[in-house]
Amino acid sequence: MTTPQAPGTIYIVDDDEAVRDSLRWLLEANGYRVRSFGAAEEFLNAYDPDQVGVLIADVRMPGMSGLELQEELLARRAPLPVVFITGHGDVPMAVSTMKKGAVDFLEKPFNETDLRTIVANMLQQASERVSQAQAQKSHQAVLSRLTTREQQVLERIVAGRLNKQIAGDLNISIKTVEAHRANIMEKLEVTTVADLMKIALAKAEGTV
């Protein structure tokens, strides 16, 4: 038994019990933690976006299809890499799902070696996505502590404005700007303007 390099859970969503059992056996034999579901709705009720995971879903299922499940996850901004398995795959469908964020597309019967490789790569991506999502939430929470005036000062610091210019923009004294800068640095728990810029710019770009 091999040990996965990245922690996390492999979620299997397929209405075919035989496929679910086969996938579970293959993945658990390689050291992965696996949870399987017979319906997309059942999976959504159990899924925790704060946990590292990878979704392996059948495209065609009764009720919510795999493609509809992917759309719902995208709407929720879930940091979950997806691979579709299907016995009815075709090029247009594969292209469409890949553009929407699916990592790969496997046709039944799938190759065990390919599956292991894809799962390992996806878990690494999943770990990075969850870390980024958590960092962004953390930065948003920290930035929300700033007062309206402090946010105005921060915006101008990021824009490269000098204290004197910021004072003129906001019709306040330079000493008041300096006080706001000090409060911002303290609240964001940074000691340099470079770190301050990094947090503010990352939040603005949605990259953390």
In a domain, residue 37? The reply is yes
Q: Dihedral of CA 161/164/170/172: which sign? A: positive
Residues 85 and 185 occupy one common structural domain: no
Q: Which pLDDT value is given to residue 208? A: 38
Q: 55 forms bridges with which residues in the sheet?
A: 11, 82
In a domain, residue 122? The reply is yes
Q: Which pLDDT value is given to residue 123? A: 84
Residues 201 and 180 occupy one common structural domain: yes
Strands (E), 102-198: 102-107
Q: Which pLDDT value is given to residue 3? A: 47
Q: Which pLDDT value is given to residue 38? A: 94
In a domain, residue 3? The reply is no
Q: Which domain CATH number covers 69?
A: 3.40.50.2300
Looking at 87, 113, 134, which one is the last position of a domain? Answer: 134
Residues 165 and 192 occupy one common structural domain: yes
Look up the pTM and report it.
0.62
- Using the 8-state DSSP alphabet, how is residue 189 labeled? T
Q: Which pLDDT value is given to residue 1? A: 45
Residues 43 and 113 occupy one common structural domain: yes
Residues 130 and 47 occupy one common structural domain: yes
Strands (E), 29-169: 33-37, 53-58, 82-86, 102-107
Looking at 134, 166, 187, which one is the last position of a domain? Answer: 134
Residues 38 and 120 occupy one common structural domain: yes
Task: List phi, psi (to 5°) of 59.
Answer: -70, -45
Residues 130 and 149 occupy one common structural domain: no
From residue 172, alpha-carbon distances to 37, 100, 145, 167, 179 in Å are 60, 48, 21, 5, 11
Range of the domain at 198: 145-205
Q: Which pLDDT value is given to residue 34? A: 93
Q: Which pLDDT value is given to residue 193? A: 80
In a domain, residue 2? The reply is no
Q: How far apart are CA 55 and CA 13, in angstroms?
A: 8
Q: How many domains does the chain have?
A: 2
Residues 105 and 156 occupy one common structural domain: no
- What is the residue-level pLDDT of the chain in tens, covering all 208 positions? 444 444 789 999 999 999 899 999 989 988 899 999 999 999 999 998 878 888 999 888 889 988 899 889 888 888 788 888 877 656 666 666 666 666 677 777 777 888 888 888 888 887 777 777 666 676 677 777 888 898 899 888 888 889 999 999 999 999 999 999 999 888 888 888 887 877 776 655 554 3
Residues 46 and 126 occupy one common structural domain: yes
Residues 201 and 113 occupy one common structural domain: no
Q: Which domain CATH number covers 190?
A: 1.10.10.10
In a domain, residue 101? The reply is yes
Residues 31 and 113 occupy one common structural domain: yes
Residues 149 and 179 occupy one common structural domain: yes
